[in-house]
Amino acid sequence: MNPFPGHQLDVLAFDSFGVGRDQLVESRLAVPGEGGEVVAGVVKLAQRFLFRLLTIAGSMPYQPDEGSSFLVGFRENLIHTQLEAEQAFQSALVDIKRLFQAEVTDDQPLDEQLADATILSVVYLTTSVIFHIQLTSQAGTNHKLLLPLTTVG
């Protein structure tokens, strides 16, 4: 039985999602001692957004167009300031929006379609960058994410 009528379910891959509150993102399929979970709606949108943001474009041979350029600058130690981190995000957002737009179908719920992603803040430290991002769905629902990244330094 689908607990989210009108939605296709997705497996929860990034734990600690919470609708309407800031959450640190952890990559894990299940909480130890508990089963896996399913998501839909704006939480599914947030998960798919993170997947595309954190996947380097061309890194999956079976889906070469999937992903973005976001992590490349961090991986190659080319990002050294808050401004450069924000620019990397904005550049990747162009690709991510294109990917979301290309997959829209007539029966896809509006809360699973990306309208925009906004940087609320970026904290750049010597060995890490923390992004505070707000996603907005086509339904107008918002979801905030805290995304910590470790940098090469």
Evaluate if residue 9 carries a pLDDT over 50: no
Q: What is the pTM of this model?
A: 0.80
The top-level CATH class assigned to 10-150 is alpha beta
pLDDT digits (tens, 9 = 90+) for 111-149: 999 999 999 999 998 889 999 999 999 999 999 998 989
Q: Which residues contact 53 (CB under 8 A, 6 or more apart)?
A: 68, 70, 89, 92, 96, 147
| Contact call for residues 46 and 20 (beta carbons, < 8 A) | no
Query: Sorting pLDDT into bands at 50, 70 and 90, what band is 31?
Result: low
Which string of b and e fits 114-149 if b means at least 16 CB within 10 Å?
bbebeeeebebeeeebebebebbbbeebebbbbbee
